[in-house]
Each structure stands twice: as C-alpha cells, then as structure tokens.
Structure 1
Amino acid sequence: MEGSLSCCKYLMFFFNLLIFLSGAALLGVGIWVAVGADSFKQVVSNDPAIFNAVYIIIAVGALLFVVGFLGCCGAIKENKFLLGAFFVMILLIFILQIIGGILTFVYYPKAKAAALDSMKLYGGSTPEAQTATTAWDGFLPQFKCCGINSGADWTAAGILLPPTACNALPVPPGCESVVKNYFWVLGGIAVAVLFIELLAMIFACCLYRGVNKHQYA
C-alpha cells in the first residue's frame, strides 16, 4: 500500500510539474498574440470577438500555472483538500480549453474575412483606412509575409501599390500559411496539455483514494 501510494504521489508531482510548465508556455504565447502581435490584432479588429479564443488561452495558461503549483503541493503533502480542489479546478480548465479550441475553429473564417476586407482599405484617407494601413505596414515585416494567400491578393483587392514588404526577395509567402504555423504550435501545446491534465486528474483520484484508505486503515 505504502509503495503504490508513494509511486502515485511522485507520478502526480511529475505531471503537475509538466502542467505548471505548460501553463507558463500557454500564458507566454497567449500574451504575445494578444499584446506583442498588436498589428495582427488591428488587421482583424473588425470583429473583436475573434480574440475571445486568445483570451481564453491566456486565462487557461494563468490558471494552469497556479493550479500546477497547488497540485505539486497537494501531492507532496498528501493533502485531501488540495487534491480535491486540484481535481475540480483542472476539470474546469479542461472544459475551458475545449471551448477555446472550438472558438478558434469557429472564428477562423471570420478572421480571414476581416483581414481580406482590411486589405481593401490600404492606402485610403479615412481614419479606418489609416488604421488598416498602419496595421499592415507593421504586420507584414513582423511576420515576413505578403497578402493572405499570396501577394496577388493585393491586386484582387484593387490595391495598385502594395506594401513595400511585398517587394522583398525572395518573394514572401502568404500570411495565412505563416500565421497557421504559429497556431499549429499553440494547438500542439494545447493538445499535449489536455493529455497531461487527463493523466493528472486520474492520478489525483488515485492518490485521494489512497490517502483516504491510509488514514482510515
């Protein structure tokens, strides 16, 4: 009994350490997308709801960061209250991550449509057009891309003089493929975290039952 309880305790500590580190990674990437990639946010600013998924990822990352630490403490101290609270919080975070993933897929077409619409405003004189111009002039050099699918998108949008970043050699790829690479990385981290969370919940239940039996043995 002691051996299995000890094994379960240290396995849970290990998975909680992974949750702690994963939370830090999600938090960092989420903050970068929401704050550091400000030009990207402006490009799709016609629909602010697009960033709901990013804000959920930031919230999940922050919660994982804290909960991972609490889970480590609960595992080492074999504290039933901490273990129970950990399980409930991880379950809620698990659900939030699923919602965030669904929102990402739901709003992706809207984000692409908003970006295409903002291209048509490039170089205009209205305040909205000036905002779009500034956003694209910051976004393209930052991500080293041009257009959505390719530089030909500017011609299709009726823009005769595209941003100077599109004149670079070699010809920059479309921004959609570049941005997708970032989101694939974020998605890979999220899937790995979901798997770790699932294992952590299983070990939390096992450890909780083990501690309970040990106390009343």
Structure 2
Amino acid sequence: MMAALTRGEMCVKYLMFAFNFIFWLTGSAVFAVGLWLRFDERTINFFDEKGFPPLFFIGVYTLIAAGALMMVVGFLGCCGSIQESPCMLGMYFFFLLLIFAVVVAAVIWGFSNLSVVGEQVTQYYRATIEKYKETRADGLKETLSLAHYAFNCCGTGPDFEFTAETCPKREGLDEFIVKSCPDAIDEFFNSKLILIGGVGIGIAALLVFGMLFTMTLCCAIRKSREIV
C-alpha cells in the first residue's frame, strides 16, 4: 500500500513545478539574449570580421548553450515533479548541480576576463581606425559604423572629425557632447561587472533552492511508495 503525499509535501511538489517553470522562462530569456547578440544587425557583422576578439564570441555562444540547457532542465523538472518520478528528479538534481558549478565558474571567469575583453575590443577598434585611414575600405567603414552605433561613441578623441561620417547623428546640445570610443567601451564593460555578479548570485541561489526542493520531494515520494 502506498501512502499519499502530505499537504506540506504536495506544497513542495507544486512549488517545484512553479520554480521550474520560472527556470524554464529564465533559460528562454538567456537563450533569446544569446541569439539576439548573435544575429542582431548591429553585432552580426562582428562574427565575420577577422581579428575581432574571440572572447566576445565565446561569451555569446556560452549564453546560447546555457539558455538551451536551462530550458531542457526546467522542462525535465516540471515533468518530474508533476509525475512524481524519482528517476527524472534524480536526473534533474544532477543537472542542477552541474549548472551550479558552471554558473560559479562563469561568474569567476566573467570577473577575471571582462576587463580583458574590453581591452581587446579597444585595441581592435584602434587598429581598425588606423587601417581605415590608410585604405578607406568600405568594409572597415562599415565596421566603424557598427562600433559607433553599438557603443554610442565617435572616434578616439583626436580623430573625431575624421570618423564623423560613421558616427551616430546628434542634435542640439548632444552635438557638442561626444564620447570617445575607448572611454565608451571601457565604461560599457566595467558597468557589466556588477550586473554579472548580481545575476550570477541570483541564479546560484535559485539553484540551491531547487536542489533542496528536489531532495525533499524525492524523499517524500519514496516514503509514500513504501509498502505499509
């Protein structure tokens, strides 16, 4: 004879379902952001540019892979909790533990390499300007335009007038307030440090709660299926 789950255990079951539904939505958002960075008209040409910092590509593809994995795991958790399947919940717990380790590693990597990515992008930008001065190639002009619109900047300071044709159009007082691209790039990547840390800590906390709920529900299901 199998005992039914108690009200408290049923509450854990539906909390698990709600948690995993939110987790699935979060994974969908991460996946969408990764695809947006990969195929947005302002960044897609960066993937065709030779010499562009490889860490940028690594970050984008990591977002896509992580989002897809979170969607699969969220779906697995929803099914496992509703069907009260210890096997599916065990697999779900293993994936949560794996994702937790990846998140911790990703946050550490982000704090360690974000400034490096910014420096590489700045160096690539300066090199592109120098090549454009020499060749006036249309491809380099398009690359500069992409960078200027993406970071809302113009030139490196001394060459504002030289690069003006590739910069965002400004009106009124904004016309006299022009930020150099090295400064804008540095500000962009430094501002993401707090965001990366906050998102990483938030996801890690959710994963810990998910693992606790999973263990509690697994124990309750096994207990309810014992023969009395």
Is 1:12 aligned to residue 16 of structure 2?
yes
Give the Cα–Cα distance (whole angstroms) in 2 for the partners of residues 44 and 11 of structure 1. Answer: 48
Q: Which runs of 5+ in 1 are unaligned?
A: none
The total of aligned residue pairs comes to: 209
C-alpha displacement at 1:106, in angstroms?
2.4
C-alpha displacement at 1:2, in angstroms?
1.5
Task: Check the 8 A contact 1:26/1:61 in 2, yes or no.
Answer: yes
4+ residue stretches of structure 1 with deviation over 4 A?
39-45, 129-132, 178-190
Residues 45 and 93 from structure 1, CA distance in 2 versus in 1: closer, same or farther, beyond 3 angstroms?
A: farther
Q: Paired residue for 1:72?
A: 78
Q: Paired residue for 2:118?
A: 112
The amino acid across from 1:168 in the alignment is R
Residues 184 and 65 from structure 1, CA distance in 2 versus in 1: closer, same or farther, beyond 3 angstroms?
A: farther
Give the Cα–Cα distance (whole angstroms) in 1 for the partners of residues 64 and 58 of structure 2. Answer: 10
Residues 100 and 31 from structure 1, CA distance in 2 versus in 1: closer, same or farther, beyond 3 angstroms?
A: farther
Give the Cα–Cα distance (whole angstroms) in 2 for the partners of residues 141 and 41 of structure 1. Answer: 17
Residues 93 and 207 from structure 1, CA distance in 2 versus in 1: closer, same or farther, beyond 3 angstroms?
A: same
C-alpha displacement at 1:176, in angstroms?
4.0
Task: Check the 8 A contact 2:20/2:74 in 1, yes or no.
Answer: yes
Task: Check the 8 A contact 1:67/1:89 in 2, yes or no.
Answer: yes
Which whole-Å deviations, capped at 9, do the CAs of 1:112-156 have from their partners, x for residues lacking one? 2222222323123469x865542221232244x115xxx6x342x
Give TM-score, length-normalised by structure 2: 0.76
Identity %: 26
Give the Cα–Cα distance (whole angstroms) in 1 for the partners of residues 118 and 139 of structure 2. Answer: 17
Which whole-Å deviations, capped at 9, do the CAs of 1:156-187 have from their partners, x for residues lacking one? xx676124326624135524435666776666
Q: CA RMSD in A?
A: 3.0
Q: Which runs of 5+ in 2 are unaligned?
A: none
In terms of mean alpha carbon deviation, does 183-192 or 118-127 score higher? 183-192
Structure number with bigger Rg: 2
Is 1:141 aligned to residue 149 of structure 2?
yes
Give TM-score, length-normalised by structure 1: 0.80
Is 1:51 aligned to residue 63 of structure 2?
no
Q: Paired residue for 2:103?
A: 97
Give the Cα–Cα distance (whole angstroms) in 1 for the partners of residues 197 and 36 of structure 2. Answer: 15
